Structure 1
Amino acid sequence: MAMKAWFDTKTAPCAFMPGDMVLQCALNPGKLQNKWEGPFVVSRASVRGAYHLTNLEDTPLPHPWNAEALKNYYV
């Protein structure tokens, strides 16, 4: 229990707003392949932490992504 409490103090909650650019974690990266794909644009944010993404040509991705599988993309 103490280890979980210590770990939770070190993690920062991440929240994305519609319009933010993000990278998504690759589903099955190989040993020498990129671990992140993108950039993508957040189109909608759900209450429970699911984010709907679109690519740069405004084509939506087929399913929502969890915040743990996304990270900010800085230009």
Structure 2
Amino acid sequence: MQRHAFDVQLAAEEEFAPTEAEVDLSLIKAPCLALSGGHDLADFRETAARLPEHSPMPVTVSCPGRVTCPAWSGPPK
């Protein structure tokens, strides 16, 4: 069922140009857990790598060879 959802979403035409969100990560005052997997999509890995430099109490965990959230990362290849 998840594979079908990806196929349907990927077949749809891009309606809008991609945009870069302007977020000031330094406004986050709570502790931050940045979790990333070696098989996550590039933007997830980049965000996890960038979060700790803006957090007052960062904890970074890298899981090589893993996907941290399979439902967000795309179908297996």
Q: Identify the TM-score tier after normalising by the shorter chain.
A: under 0.3
Which has more helix, going by share of residues? 2
Which has more strand, going by share of residues? 1
Larger Rg: 2
Larger relative contact order, structure 1 or 2 (CA cutoff 8 Å, min sep 6): 2
